[in-house]
Amino acid sequence: MDADTSSPISLTGNEARDEIVRAAAEVFMEFGFAATSIDAVAERLGATKGRIYHYYRSKAELYFDVQIAAMEKLAREIEPIAKGAGNAAERLEAMALRHATILMEDLPVQKVAVRGLERELLGAVAARHAKTLRSIIRLRDDYEQIFAEVIDDGIRAGLFVDLPPRLATKPFFGALNWLTVWYVPRRLQTAEDIAEIARTLTGCAMRGILKGAQL
């Protein structure tokens, strides 16, 4: 077990690390990278720094792991849909629906990932982790590319408005991802409530790029 601590990318999810990542995501979500202290994460775990630094060599590495966890989860679920059955509009709608749902179900991790690297890091630790940084940005780009390709299909098929796919992706993602800014999970909120929100957002996003009339 614990096959690699050297490569922060694509690590096999050690159980202990997973627990740390989840706790870290909650605190990062609340305070952001810079304002989050390792002690605060440890406290949420009911432990001390020692535990965290046993598995992670720096705060940045821990933060990266949250990002990776988020992107892998999304890609793992959405890619099959993109490559599945249905025309571009049907696939895109299913992707958007699932995407929005994951954001809400997995809020801490996903919110941190959506806020993204935001120069906060490039500025803070700079060139130190430049390589890791690049590979995470790559993960994001690859994920966006999945959507861009389906959108491109739709445009070619005449289903969607004629825009550069990469540009059309932006407001589409915007309508969905923006929920990480305003959505606050309420107690008493059922899975159906989440599904309702996801459908609403997906509806707006889809109409935004669909061409012509629909009901």
Please give the residue ranges that form the binding site for its own copies (CB under 8 A): 30-35, 115-116, 118-120, 123-124, 161, 163, 167-168, 170-179, 181-182, 197, 200-201, 203-205, 207-210, 212-214
Nearer to DNA, 128 or 134 (CB): 128
CB nearer to DNA: give 1 or 181: 1
Strand partners, 210: 160
CA distance 91 to 113: 24
Nearer to its own copies (CB atom), residue 73 or residue 140: 140
Does the footprint of DNA cover residue 1 (CB under 7 A)? yes
Interface residue with DNA, options 25, 29, 60, 104 (CB under 7 A): 60
Q: How far is CA 116 from CA 14, 59, 86, in A?
A: 24, 15, 31
3-state secondary structure (DSSP) of residue 56: coil
Binding mask 18-57 for DNA (x = CB under 7 A): -----------------xxxxx--x----xxxxx-xx--x
User: Residue 38 binds which one of its own copies, DNA, none, with CB within 5 to 8 A depending on kind?
Assistant: DNA
Q: Using CA atoms, how far apart are residues 141 and 155, in angstroms rounded to an integer?
A: 20
Q: Tell how far CA 109 is from the center of its chain.
A: 7
C-alpha distances in Å from residue 99, one per residue of 6, 62, 83, 138, 193: 31, 24, 15, 19, 16
